[in-house]
């Protein structure tokens, strides 16, 4: 799911961000829950880092889309 040019206005970006957050939480959050239930501390740490990376990537993606829409 990528923000497109029509989603770079504030309302569209907010809608995209909510959808992206839901996607990340469903995918990475579920993995984190599973590792917390049955994994080692190392598994939990690794899964937490994967979630952090997914969040960071979505922020970079949104920033890039916003700059492209602004013609920067």
Q: What is the mean pLDDT of the chain?
A: 84
Top pLDDT among 5 and 9 is at 9
For tokens 């190392």, what's the residue? 42
For tokens 């569209």, what's the residue? 12
The average pLDDT across 45-69 equals 88
Check: CB of residue 2 under 8 Å from CB of residue 65: yes
Q: What is the band of 39 on the pLDDT scale with cuts at 50, 70, 90?
A: confident
Check: CB of residue 61 under 8 Å from CB of residue 13: no
Instruction: Reply yes or no on whether the pLDDT at 14 is more than 80.
Output: yes
Count the alpha carbons within 13 Å of 39 in the hemisphere toward its beta carbon.
15
Top pLDDT among 71 and 35 is at 35
């Amino acid at each position: 799911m990528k923000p497109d040019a029509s989603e770079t206005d504030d309302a569209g970006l907010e809608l995209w961000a909510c959808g992206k957050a839901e996607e990340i939480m469903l995918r990475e959050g579920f993995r984190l829950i599973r590792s917390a239930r049955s994994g080692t501390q190392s598994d939990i740490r690794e899964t937490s880092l994967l979630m952090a990376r997914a969040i960071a990537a979505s922020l970079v993606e949104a920033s890039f889309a916003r700059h492209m829409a602004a013609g920067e």
